[in-house]
């Protein structure tokens, strides 16, 4: 919607003066004609008193015009006086539209401010990665709503930037892509028991990958992201939101992001783990399908999973799932999760196998938002 404003707006008093001069009247004459005190006429002419509908009718009778003429002059003048305020409001609206300011303040990502200028400065600090001395250069492959990089929503950008800011505080060894395969095998060995999740941050740091857990924002629906600090590919970051607390979700998302790092994917976004993936970009779809397939294969070799399904379908008893899991030294909840993801079982099946791991993980990881959320949840329950 275009906004049109007049080039110049005059107070109605200027027009009244012109009418008085053209008729040879004084303010006293107009006061007698309208039945108002001279002081009231003076206040109207000096724009210290607004023209009301009653006054507009009196001026219309005195000068042979319409009441609307005077009311329109008054409205235009008063609105022009408020234009600077309106500009400030439009400025604030742009800022709030470009960043999730309220949530960023609640999460202490930025301090609460009193003015637009202060808010703009704080947002600039937030989006400027001071540790590198450079502005934002966001490279991300994230599990979130399907969209291309050009249309990342503000909440997604803010979440990724906070993950990067948090990651700068994580100490890691030098990243060497050739050692990634060994690191993945070491991680996979931890997928047998829920409590082993606590070692994941340490293993990732040993292979040079920074790991953080950032609670999602209201509109992000991000499960995880593969990010990179700086312009190159030598400082990878894995950020998880852990918005679903189940063992299969954690391991699949973690290895999905490791696939992105291994393949140096960037600017990839897809739907949440349990939603229907929708994207009009065939290249992005192919990348995500590859990451999903590689993540599943890292956990349970595809050939072994296919063989189990062929032998067992459709009678996936708990006993058979546990036996297969024990054979491959993996938690049965991960087997149950893959069966659900493949559509072999209902999402409601074997829910008791999908053990929670979030608290174990955040006890050892660099986190943002989850500790305060857990405290608030505890206080609400009690």
Q: Per the structure, how many domains does the chain have?
A: 2
Angle at CA 118, nearest 5°, toward 120 and 139? Answer: 30
Together in a domain, 70 and 158:
no
177 plus 279 within the same structural domain: yes
Looking at the DSSP assignment, which residues form a beta bridge with residue 44? none
pLDDT for 7 beyond 60? no
DSSP-assigned letters across all residues of 282-343:
HHHHHHHHHHHHHHHHHHS-HHHHHHHHHHHTT---HHHHHHHHHHTTS-HHHHHHHHHHTT
Contacts of 240 (CB under 8 A, 6+ apart): 211, 212, 213, 214, 223, 224, 250, 253, 254, 257
Range of the domain at 47: 12-81
Residues 51 and 164 placed together within one structural domain of the fold: no
**How remote is the C-alpha of 223 from its chain's centroid?**
12
pLDDT tens digits for 304-340? 999 999 999 999 999 999 999 999 999 999 999 999 9
Tokens of residue 250, six digits:
């954690």
Domain end point (choices 81, 103, 120): 81
Same structural domain, 73 and 147? no
Query: Looking at the domain assignment, is residue 87 inside a domain?
Result: no
- If asked whether residues 208 and 74 sit together in one domain, one would say no
Instruction: Give a three-class secondary structure readout of 270-288.
Output: ECCCCCCCCCCCHHHHHHH
Query: 279 and 147, same structural domain?
Result: yes
Per-residue pLDDT tens for 63-81?
999 999 999 999 988 887 7
Burial string for 193-213 (b: 16+ CB within 10 Å, else e) reads: ebeebbebbebbbebbbbbbb
Name the range with the highest mean pLDDT among 73-82, 232-241, 273-282.
232-241
Q: What pLDDT shows up at residue 152?
A: 73
Same domain (yes/no): 56, 184 = no
Position 233 pLDDT exceeds 50 = yes
In this prediction, residue 145 carries a pLDDT of 43
Residue 227 counted as domain residue:
yes
Q: Is residue 110 part of a domain?
A: no
**∠ Cα 101 146 180 (to 5°):** 95
Classify residue 166 by burial, with Cβ atoms within 10 Å: 0-12, 13-18, 19+.
buried
The pLDDT tens digits of the residues spanning 186-221 come to 999 999 999 999 999 999 999 999 999 999 998 888
Based on the domain organization, do 180 and 289 belong to the same domain? Answer: yes
Q: Sheet containing 366-368: which strands, arranged edge to edge?
A: 268-270, 140-143, 224-228, 236-240, 210-214, 366-368
Same domain, yes or no: 265 and 377: yes
In this structure, the answer to whether residues 150 and 260 fall within a common structural domain is yes
Flag whether 299 is in a domain.
Answer: yes
The answer to whether position 123 is within a domain reads no
Asked whether residue 1 is assigned to any structural domain, the reply reads no
| One domain, residues 77 and 141 | no
Contact between residue 157 and residue 101 where contact means Cβ atoms under 8 Å apart: no
Domain CATH code at residue 64: 1.10.260.40
Last residue within a domain, chosen from 59, 81, 103: 81
Last residue of a domain, one of 41, 63, 81: 81
Domain shared by 210 and 334, yes or no: yes
Question: Residue 136 in contact with residue 163, Cβ under 8 Å?
Answer: no
């Amino acid at each position: 919607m275009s906004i049109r404003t007049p080039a110049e707006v005059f107070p109605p008093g200027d027009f009244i003066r012109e009418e008085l001069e053209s008729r040879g009247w004084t303010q006293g004459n107009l006061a007698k004609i309208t039945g108002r005190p001279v002081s009231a006429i003076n206040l109207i002419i000096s724009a210290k008193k607004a023209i009301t509908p009653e006054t507009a009718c009196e001026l219309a009778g005195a000068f042979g015009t319409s009441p609307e003429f005077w009311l329109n002059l008054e409205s235009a003048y008063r609105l022009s006086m408020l234009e600077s305020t309106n500009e400030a409001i439009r400025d604030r609206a742009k800022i709030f539209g470009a960043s999730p300011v309220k949530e960023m303040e609640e999460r202490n990502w930025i301090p609460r401010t009193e003015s637009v200028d202060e808010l703009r400065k704080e947002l600039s600090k937030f989006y400027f990665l001071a540790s590198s001395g450079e502005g934002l250069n966001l490279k991300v492959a994230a599990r979130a709503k399907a969209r291309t990089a050009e249309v990342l929503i503000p909440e997604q950008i803010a979440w990724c930037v906070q993950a990067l800011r948090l990651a700068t505080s994580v100490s890691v060894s030098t990243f060497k892509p050739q050692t990634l395969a060994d690191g993945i095998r070491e991680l996979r060995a931890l997928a047998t028991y829920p409590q082993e999740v606590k070692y994941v941050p340490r293993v990732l740091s040993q292979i040079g990958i920074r790991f953080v857990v950032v609670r999602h924002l209201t509109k992000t629906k991000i499960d995880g992201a593969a990010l990179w600090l700086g312009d190159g590919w030598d400082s990878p970051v894995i950020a998880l939101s852990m918005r679903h607390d189940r063992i299969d979700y954690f391991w699949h998302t973690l290895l999905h992001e490791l696939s992105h790092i291994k393949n140096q994917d960037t600017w990839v976004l897809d739907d949440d783990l349990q939603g229907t993936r929708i994207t009009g970009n065939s290249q992005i779809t192919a990348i995500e399908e590859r990451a999903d397939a590689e993540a599943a294969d890292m956990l349970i070799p595809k050939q072994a999973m296919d063989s189990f399904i062929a032998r067992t379908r459709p009678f996936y008893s708990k006993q058979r799932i546990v036996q297969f899991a024990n054979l491959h030294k993996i938690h049965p909840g991960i087997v149950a999760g893959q069966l659900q993801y493949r559509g072999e079982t209902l999402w409601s099946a074997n829910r008791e196998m999908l053990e929670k791991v979030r608290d174990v993980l955040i006890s050892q990881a660099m986190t943002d938002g989850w500790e305060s959320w857990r405290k608030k949840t505890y206080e609400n329950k009690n």
